[in-house]
Copies of this chain bind each other. A is one copy, B any other.
Amino acid sequence: VKGCRSGRRRFLKNSATLAGLAAGAVLSANGQPLDSQMHAGPPIGDLRAYGRRSRFVTSARGPLPYAQYTPLGDSMGTITPNSLFHVNGTGGFHSHSPGEVYGGGLPDFDPRQHRLLIHGMVDHPLIFTMDELMRFPSVSRFHFIECSGGQGGTQYAPIRRLNFLNDTNMYNHPHVLYSKSSNAEWTGALLSVLLNEVRVQKGASWLVAEGAEPNRLTRSIPLEKAMDDCLVAYGQNGEPIRPEQGYPLRLVVPGWEGDTNIKWLRRIKVVDEPYMTMAETNIYPSIRPDGKARWFLFEMPPHSVITFPSVGQRLPVHGFYEIRGLAWSGGGAIRRVEVSSDGGRTYKDAELQEPILRMAHTRFRLPWVWDGAEAVIQSRCTDEKGQVQPSLAELSKAWGVSLDYWQETSNYINHFNPIHPWKVTREGSVQNALFA
């Protein structure tokens, strides 16, 4: 191309942040820049009705075949595509289950036959069809849903044998960062509106929500939360909720443990005490070394992770990069994200992408020049309550355990939100450094 300096590239002398991008350009510009090859895509007929992604895009949930987590290392912006929204669990005992217990397929309920019953300590128990629920006043809100953890020795043994680190909310596959937190725009009726419709009786203080899947996952939720911001949701990112997210109806409990967001919601019973369900007593309590357990700790703590550069990615050249990541908290809006490139000795404030929404993934970014030396990069977020994401050492101290505990325990570890350090090697590869 005439006039194009394809072999040389300007350094922005007075913008140190962009220095080094030049090197990449020199390497790749080849003088034939506009002869990009066009491939014929799928037949038009397939594309018209409901589009598909490029054959060159292969991002997938994983790590297969044991789990279906969001490939956060591939993420862009704040939305998690519905097709990549995480599905949790392998045991089939709770609503995160991908469905092995269902005889070869995920449950796919006929919306014309699905019903929601609200009963218990109410004056007027009611049964709602989907059409009726969709006539109620609706709201749309961006919220993350994050699994509270739930990693144990039993059901995750195969994963541990595959050399995954015991990092309950981020599975560090050698090739991609997987996450048990995803983010979507949910649309539905406010649960408070439905509860007002059935008239909750005096003395009621909890509700029990139940899914329609064969396992009937059931969780107790304080009435106060239900009246505050819970949604009975039928929409996810502009279309009906996906089957593995609870189609046609899911309870969305903003900022709280993922499995309180009951999928395939069919029943809400208003009661005056928590029901001590199996999930609450056997599965989700975190048992400490002294035998005590944390129960009913609903709200997810502040959590952040650098998505680029992250495990499995590679920095091809020295120079400018933008460190990118996501932060979220059950405590509300993210107020601050700090990023360190020296293993936590010093931090700089990252820029937060607006709009910054409560209990939603928030994108953060910070310019960084990699000089080619080994570096440990990590992020630390603070939410609107002032809660700060802890280091693993701080978390261990608060938990009263040794650092080894996290790798050795076979108990469930919930709300595991340590700062996630990634080591950038001299070769530019990125590795997990949590237990380094």
Residues of A within 8 A of B (CB): 1, 3-6, 9-10, 12, 15, 17-18, 21, 24-25, 28-29, 33-44, 47-57, 59-62, 64-65, 68, 74-85, 87, 98-100, 102-111, 113-115, 117, 119, 123-129, 131-132, 135-140, 185-187, 196-199, 212-214, 234-235, 237-240, 242-244, 247-248, 266-267, 316, 320-322, 324, 353, 355, 357, 363, 365, 367
Contact = CB atoms under 8 A, between A and B. Distances in A.
Contact of A238 (B61, B80, B244): B80
Contact of A132 (B3, B25, B103, B117): B25
A104 to B, nearest CB: 6
Contacts of A197: 10, 12, 18, 21
A56 B108 contact: yes
Given A76-B239, A266-B36, A124 B9 contact: yes
Contact of A36 (B21, B115, B196, B367): B115
Given A83-B52, A127-B33, A44 B105 contact: yes
Given A4-B126, A76-B238, A84-B239, A108 B48 contact: no
A243 B61 contact: no
Given A12-B197, A185-B78, A48 B98 contact: yes
Given A28-B129, A235-B77, A238-B80, A98 B47 contact: yes
A21 B135 contact: yes
Nearest to A2: B119
Given A4-B119, A53-B239, A242-B53, A107 B38 contact: yes
Contact of A109 (B25, B37, B119): B37
A132 B115 CA distance: 52
7 contacts: A3-B119, A10-B126, A36-B109, A40-B104, A40-B108, A51-B84, A84-B239
Contacts of A82: 51, 53, 81
A25 to B, nearest CB: 5
A308 to B, nearest CB: 9
A316 B37 CA distance: 53
A108 B38 contact: yes
Given A76-B235, A108-B54, A126 B39 contact: no
Contacts of A38: 102, 107-109, 212-214
A129 B369 CA distance: 19
Contacts of A47: 68, 87, 98-99, 106, 243-244
B238 A78 contact: yes
A21 B127 contact: no
Contact of A113 (B36, B100, B240): B36
Given A34-B115, A135-B322, A138-B322, A25 B126 contact: yes
Nearest to A316: B131
A108 B357 contact: no
Contacts of A18: 136, 197
A266 B34 contact: yes
A126 B29 CA distance: 9
Contacts of A79: 79, 185, 237-238
Given A10-B197, A78-B185, A127-B33, A41 B237 contact: no
Nearest to A361: B238
B107 A39 contact: yes
A4 B127 contact: yes
B77 A109 contact: no
Q: Give the most central of A39, A102, A234: most B CB within 10 Å.
A: A39
Contacts of A74: 239
A353 to B, nearest CB: 5
Nearest to A31: B127
Contact of A355 (B10, B17, B135, B357): B357
